[in-house]
Structure 1
Amino acid sequence: MYTRVQLSLAISGPPDPPSGTPCISVDSPTSVRVTWSSSPYDGGRCVEGYIVEYSLVGSGVWAAACRQCHSLRHLVTGLTPGGRYVFRVTAVNTHGSSRPGIESEVVQMQENDESSSFEPKVVHIEPGPEFVTRYDILEELGKGRFGVVHKVIEKRSGQKFAAKFVRCRTTKDRDKVQDEIDIMNMLRHQKLLQLAAAFENPKEMVMVMEYISGGELFERVVADDFTLTEKDCILFMRQICEGVAYMHRQQVVHLDLKPENIMCHTRTSHEIKIIDFGLSQKIDPNKPIRVLFGTPEFIPPEIINYEPIGVESDMWSIGVICYVLLSGLSPFMGDNDSETFANITRAYYDFEDEAFCTVSQNARDFISAVLVKRKEERLSAEQCLKHVWLDPENHQQTVVLSTDKLKKFIIRRKWQVNHQVRQVA
């Protein structure tokens, strides 16, 4: 006689990953709060905890913030101010760990501002000996035809600044520095480098400015720990247009917008600053101004043709910067300056290179709206800010842009800066 026995078989194993995407909220420059949903299936055994991990974008390395989290939220601390992070969560039961869950969106940490902002003020030139009394001179930051820049520290406050020491052998040299000081006294905007103090010695003048520690924008975006997307380019170009729009409202034209003059506020920041107002001029719409200076690749046709300039002249340079940032290619670059100038005056360029295959049509339309031969037909900086391309919410794709050509562009520019002056004539 047989007895029928009914058995039920339950297979146990590791749980499924937590469902959905983790939600991240920035708590401070060094911490975030991560919340997530439970696993849809526990593997036949209760989930005992969760592993919370984070990774600095571009590093390819995951670090555990917590290996035994018993709730659906965790405060992650010890992050780098200004860093860009992604987070993921893994479920654990007695049989082991699930696969890692879906990665969070990239989180940009707040910046601990190393430069410590100061209250804007009208700067008047002070006697040279006052500079030595108030500041200690630290390492050299750079040099050029104008002189040299050093990091300095204010003795009283411990605040860091950058001091530009300008050689002044003639009255004309001093007048140029005074013009730059007058221009900077007019410009009170967070995207424009600010002036803190100025001093005069017998053979040099010293301009004390904000300390910008992040280096040039283009060098930042080609770094190994940075992944450049078109949305990044939008964020950078929008800030440039914001700063330039403010300048133009003050009727000031920069006249030397180029990659070397777009700096990152700190090494890990997405915040930019426009620098170097040595060629900037106050424009009177009723008095035509003609100039013969600038950087060959970035100057507009009206300068080459010795025609009156205007605030529109900066917009051409913005178009060139944008073209290079997206592709790594210089739209009008020739084998020599004469060929470059001929290309600019023809105002001919295209988007046929493979570098533009992943670039959106909106981006091309933006460039085409500012790289226009007749300056009166170019978009203004204010109009650029209303362009559909400069609205980050209208561009959700995160296609990674190749920076191989941009790296070669930077190498060539460095060589040119070291071997050429920036005067056109």
Structure 2
Amino acid sequence: MTAPASRCPFGAAAADVDLVDAELYGSGDPHAVWAAHRRDSPVRWHRVSERGFWSVTRHADISRVLREHETFSSQQGTLLNLLGAGDPASGSQLAVTDPPRHGEMREPLQRALSIRAIDHYQGDIRELVAELLAPLADGGPFDLAAAMANLPMAVTGTMMAIPRADWPALTHAAIAALAADDPAYQVAGGPAETLRRSHREIFAYFHDVVVARRGNPGDDLIGTLLRMRIDGRGLSDGQIMANCYSLLIGAIVTTPQVVTAAVARLAGTGELDRWAADPGLANTAVEEAVRWASPTNHFMRYVRRDTELAGVPIRAGEPVVVWLGSANRDELVFTDPFHFDIARKPNKHIAFGVGPHYCIGHTIARVTLRIAFAELLGRFTGLEQAAAPVRLRSNIIAGIRELRITGTRRSVPAALLDASG
């Protein structure tokens, strides 16, 4: 999500803004609201109808909530669209399972997503990225956001052995599940029906895959789930489907928004060509792009026992929502946090979370992002916005739905591409 280069002005009205309203993220400025909250009330009660939640905006408090699973549990649901309803996948899906069971489920998937395992896919990822970016050479305008929206499925679909013909429909359904308020994805019946329909489509798809592959699991991510054993028993079809959904959603959130947010902020500044010319900036620039985008807006936890956070008493059973984008602009942690610094070091962002639920796909995300930026910046120069970005209406994804850009194909690839192999 873009913001002013060095400052984030805010006013007194920030106290009254509804943090659940998707329109805030589509056309408002959540960073201004979070900045005011960090200053005045970093842990505050936010009412939603007859319910509510504790809203947490400072880096240190958010890190504590995400680390201390004994006090702040994931099992009742981790996203605001399930506030007060509970999560039917509790205890079965990795994202809504607490340690120690979480660790038992995570370990085999972590091996399948290790850097050694991912090395096998890097050539395929590079070819897919190059294919997605190729139309930019025609002179544009080229919708970078639309192209990058296909990137997660190109990677995760390959690692799940999902047929390429099925990628577009799954991508659309996954984004609809995360941005049910956005007019580009909303169906008749509104956000609730959009969410129900997208869930039905995704779970029905993975049900058919799981049933078909029970006898021949294969060596991909779905095969890993099919072979997984917890407490001496294999996972049920429903448990495997829930974890396929979680892996798909996790991939959809991250990589496309990091690329589009970085280009939206830096196009026309000269910083993208500086990045392309200096391979030594590759890692710091990618991490800064992740911090800047903070593509996952929030996580929710439920308090297991009475506690206090930043001096505020919180009772057992109450929900707590942490805002990752706010943590990653915290003035107490980052120097000039509203400046995109491609050489920023140190960079203690928590865009991938922290603690036991640290993003299981962070390695593949980072590899994919390094390749995506190398292909884009290594092969194209003079990137400019052709129109203002259109942001997603979602309190889950901090994202850009449309980013039209122009650029010129380089006659000689930039150093960044050569250095990336």
Q: TM-score per shorter chain, which class?
A: under 0.3
Higher relative contact order (CA 8 A, sep 6+): 2
Structure (1 or 2) with the larger CA radius of gyration: 1
Structure 1 or 2: more helix by fraction? 2
Q: TM-score, normalised by structure 1?
A: 0.24
